[in-house]
């Protein structure tokens, strides 16, 4: 709750902030270049190492397909190997959990992205499936543990 004292004190504080126009394309380009350099450094230190991202998609929503193409391109530009597992709309919850569990155990996969929303014919609990992903491989930070860490800024 905001008290009258807090409002009064806030009104007395004067700050000067200069507006700055951000160049999103420039920042994105610089970020990709820095990530590519990090991947190259990892590969020099660990011969034969290639970071791997698995993208798991249930169904074939067009908006999801566009997002996956963009993420795949961005990852490949910085030297990350991408494996896209596109599962049928008929995939069951148990089948999805099994695939995610296999990816957790796969040493060539360092990050897992479960594309949401799931485009399936049956009922699949996306929260349950998201939490099957190892917290160490949860690239989106959507498992309960990682979401909590993000909320607490840890």
Q: What residues are labeled active site?
A: 71
- Counts for the chain of helices (H) and strands (E), in that order: 6, 3
Distance of CA 61 to the CA centre of its chain: 18
Contact present, 146 and 135 (Cβ < 8 Å)? yes
Q: In whole angstroms, what is the distance from residue 145 CA to residue 135 CA?
A: 7
């Amino acid at each position: 709750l905001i008290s009258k004292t807090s409002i009064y004190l806030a009104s007395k504080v004067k700050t000067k902030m200069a507006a700055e126009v951000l160049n999103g394309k420039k920042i994105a380009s610089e970020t990709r270049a820095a990530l590519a350099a990090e991947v190259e450094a990892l590969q020099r230190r660990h011969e034969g190492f290639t970071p791997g991202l698995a993208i798991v998609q249930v169904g074939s929503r067009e908006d999801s397909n566009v997002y996956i193409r963009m993420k795949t391109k961005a990852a490949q530009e910085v030297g990350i190997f991408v494996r896209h597992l596109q599962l049928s709309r008929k995939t069951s919850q148990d089948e999805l959990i099994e695939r995610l569990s296999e990816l957790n155990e796969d040493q060539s996969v360092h990050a897992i992205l479960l594309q949401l929303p799931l485009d399936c014919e049956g009922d699949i609990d996306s929260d349950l499936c998201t939490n099957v992903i190892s917290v160490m491989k949860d690239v989106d930070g959507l498992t309960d543990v990682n979401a909590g860490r993000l909320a607490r800024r840890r």
